[in-house]
Amino acid sequence: MKKYTTQDAHNRIKKLLYSLTGITLADNKDIMISNRIDKLKRDSKYQGDIMDLLDLVESGSYVTEFINSFTTNKTHFFREDFHFLDLKDRVLPKLAKEGGKIQMYCSASSTGEEPYSMAMTVLETKEELGKYIDASIVATDIDTNVLQYAANGIYRFSKSSKEFPNWIKPQKYFKRRVQKNLAGEEVLIKVKDELKKMITFKVMNLNDNSYPYQNNQFDVIFCRNVLIYFSAEDQNNILKKLFRHLKIGGTLYLGHSENPQDLINYVSRVGQNIFVKEKEIN
């Protein structure tokens, strides 16, 4: 006989998830939490009671499976494509003119579509300018499953095909492969090495006290559609930590429903959720 209610289990999950990741689950997420519990049990191959499984997570087992089950990884190529146009038309030509290595950071890369879109944008700019651009991208996420998926770089084309803006020809950047499956055939696209070698994928928790980068390291930081999972206070802390690693004059891209919080007095807004760092924040 269970000695706890579903709500007890959900409350415990919310606390545990917050302590491990900083993610805050709203009160109306009960159906989602139930579905994620099923996923956690499948992935951990744990058939017993959820409270016993949570005891194990608290004592250090199944932590990765727990985190991976409760992240939301929705993304697609060239999401909010005006950010990539800004990168191509404003940011990269200026940086290319200045010379030197361009360092970019994608702070919640999910299954990889966002950093690969950044890399394609670099190569398009290079072609437009007819000039060599030395650029690298660090792409991190807390979810190890999506990082593995990203590093493999294989996507279903049916999902991806609508996602490319007209200034990108996907055939330049992907190899196409038709694969037979039970439902018939599906087209897979595999990222070419030219893109892959620009990106380093790593696991990182944005809720950590500090990040393993140098001050003023990055010319560009993408932090999109991840802050929404944190409380306002935690969003502010994450933004301030990220900001230290952005160069003066560097560009920060945020997701459509995210805002720069306390950074507002230290940036200038140059487009829709596009901010240029003006000065350091203490």
Ligand X SMILES: C[S@@+](CC[C@H](N)C(=O)[O-])C[C@H]1O[C@@H](n2cnc3c(N)ncnc32)[C@H](O)[C@@H]1O
Q: Pick between residue 124 and residue 141 the one whose CB is nearest to ligand X.
A: 141
Whichever of 96 and 222 has its CB closer to ligand X, that residue is 222
Structure-token pair, residue 70: 């409760």
Q: Binding residue for ligand X (CB under 6 A) from 205, 236, 259, 261?
A: 205
Sequence-distant (≥ 6) Cβ neighbours of residue 199 within 8 angstroms: 112, 115, 116, 119, 136, 137, 138, 139
Q: Which DSSP string do the residues of 197-226 spell out, in sequence order?
A: TTEEEEE--TTSSS-SS-TT-EEEEEE-SS
H runs (alpha helix) in 87-192 = 92-98, 113-129, 144-152, 157-160
**Position 73 contacts ligand X (CB under 6 A):** yes
Contact between 258 and ligand X by CB under 6 A: the answer reads no
Catalytic residue among 79, 86, 141, 143: 141
In one letter, which amino acid is 109? S
Residues 132-171 that bind ligand X (CB under 6 A): 141-143, 146
**Contacts to ligand X from residues 95-134, by CB under 6 A:** 108, 110, 114
Helical ranges in the chain per DSSP H:
6-21, 30-44, 50-58, 63-70, 82-86, 92-98, 113-129, 144-152, 157-160, 193-196, 232-244
Query: Which one of the spans 56-64, 72-80, 156-164, 191-199 is the region binding ligand X (CB under 6 A)?
Result: 72-80
- Minimum CB separation of residue 185 from ligand X in Å reads 28
Annotated catalytic residue 36? yes
Structure tokens at 190: 């595999």
Q: Is 180 among the residues that bind ligand X (CB under 6 A)?
A: no
Catalytic residue status for 43: no
Residue 95 CB-half CA count within 13 A = 28
Q: Closer CB to ligand X, residue 114 or residue 124?
A: 114
Positions marked active-site: 36, 141
User: Where on the chain is the footprint of ligand X (CB under 6 A)?
Assistant: 21-23, 71-75, 79, 108, 110, 114, 141-143, 146, 205-207, 224-226, 229, 255
